[in-house]
Chain A
Amino acid sequence: MKDCCDNIILISCLVDGQIDPSDKLKLEEHLAVCPECRELYEYMKDTSSVLGSLSKTPPQNFTSDIMDKISTMAVKPKKKQIRKYIIRYAAVAAVIALAVFSITKFPSLTATKTNNSANYTSSSTSSESENSLAYDSVSSYFSGGSGGSDISGNVDGSYGIKHDVANDMLGSIQEPDFENPDVREENKTDSSESISNDSPPLSATGNSSANEDFISSFNGRGFCLNIFAKGDITLPEDAELIFSEDEQKGYCISISDAEQLIQQGYEFYSISSTSDEVLLIVYDN
């Protein structure tokens, strides 16, 4: 029985407890009468436990540390935590201030947005639910799944700037997260670094000529827009595929390419992330 391949594999499987009951019975009968195979089994069992003991044990508070941080949603470990809070609340305050400012100073702006959304809905053949689907999925990239329902209100034109923009910004301050193992994120700018930019946060939706004003405000400020497009879009040449799901693909494109797309009439959504790049979501028809 020595050097019998089948037995070696079965013995190895027995050590791991991954053997069929019938094979196990036969093998155990064999082990009782074959010293070589029995020795091999004992060797494998012994080394298995030694090998198991070679792995390192993480610090005792490993899990509790993670849970503490998760419960406060402080997704960046250690040093930057406090700073991040300050930035977060400062950003929210800025958003609210801006929102109040825009409502009082430019009441037409909010009206325009509502109209734009309405235009989009009527001129496009896509249904609201498709948009919501795409948007929910995107928002989960940026806010870890939370807040999606708050923000998706933007899609259907019922746009409450004060409330929704604040939510958007809360979502956006967290790092964009393309860490799905199947999906690699190449450009990881530190959100807490670039958000400390003095520019007031802006948010917008719609696709009319008002877009140009918004775009010029975004330029050079390190903001990111999300653009939604149908599958028949001509992609910018250097569009980098960063994720691919059943019904949609995400591309990272430059802000100038984004600008062109918006001028062609593509829908875009509120600010997320803090890089100069734009997330382009292309979803199937």
Chain B
Amino acid sequence: MIDNNDAEIIKRILSGDTDAFEILVSENQKRVYNLAYRMVRNEDDALDLSQEAFFKAFRSLSQFRGDSSFAVWMYKLTKNVCIDFIRKKKKQNVISLVYTDEDNENEEIDIADNSQSPEVLYEQTEIRCAVSQGLKKLSEEHRQILTLRELDGYSYEEIASLLSLEMGTVKSRIARARLALRTELESGGNFFSASSSNKRKGS
């Protein structure tokens, strides 16, 4: 169901206070941009498409009926915008639809964090790389739900709505996906899981 705050903001926008749309954009920009990026695997296109999605949301806001949260509506809208784009591109054989794109293996770890020492930074990068790789090895079902929950930060309710699942299924699937990721990390023998368990054994 729609959040009361969102409902209020949308009401304001529809009555002419277009500046209020900024709140919805800043609340949702990251997940919209990331969804677009995951679908098209290209930053420039992701930027264009996520902006386009917001324009479309703005123009069709009067059709938003509030039977889901704005974030869920925005997710579906962005997905449609991206699918249209992909469909057009696909005809030109330009894009790969596969999420585990080998060319982009290290795509997720390029975010620099200047506040840390090089050693810490290196370790963090390694950890993120390991987790990112582990995520890619999960089943589609597990990867999808972890992405929605962990990367995009959708609530359990929103995930239930997006995937048409019961709340109980959402909870158990998220838990199982986390276990599956742990198994992946451990089977990879990577230093993230090793250091974690060592740390705990030592403490």
- A residues whose Cβ falls under 8 Å from a Cβ of B: 5, 8-9, 11-13, 15-16, 18, 39, 42-44, 46-48, 50-59, 62-63, 65-67, 69-71, 75, 77, 140-141, 144-145, 174, 177-184, 188, 245
Contact = CB atoms under 8 A, between A and B. Distances in A.
B76 A181 contact: yes
Contact of A179 (B26, B30, B81, B178): B81
A43 B59 contact: no
A12 B62 contact: no
A51 B196 contact: no
Contact of B84 (A140, A141, A182, A188): A188
Contact of A56 (B34, B77, B135, B174): B34
Contacts of B61: 144-145
* 4 shortest interchain CB distances as A-B pairs: A181-B76, A51-B150, A12-B175, A144-B59
A177 B59 contact: yes
Contacts of B56: 177, 179
Contacts of A71: 18-19
A58 B58 contact: no
A274 B20 CA distance: 31
B171 A9 contact: yes
A63 B26 contact: yes
A226 to B, nearest CB: 16
Interface string B72-85: 01001101110010
A47 B178 contact: yes
Interface residues of B, number: 69
A48 B18 contact: no
A195 B77 CA distance: 26
A62 to B, nearest CB: 5
B132 interface: yes
B18 A70 contact: yes
29 contacts: A8-B176, A9-B171, A43-B196, A44-B178, A47-B185, A52-B150, A52-B151, A54-B135, A55-B30, A56-B33, A56-B34, A56-B37, A57-B111, A63-B22, A63-B26, A66-B55, A69-B51, A69-B55, A75-B59, A77-B48, A77-B55, A144-B60, A144-B61, A144-B62, A179-B57, A179-B59, A180-B77, A181-B76, A181-B77
- Looking at chain B's contact residues, the main secondary structure is helix
B137 interface: no
A183 B77 CA distance: 9
B50 A58 contact: yes
B60 A177 contact: yes
Contacts of B59: 75, 144-145, 174, 177, 179
A11 B172 CA distance: 11
B12 to A, nearest CB: 13
B29 interface: yes
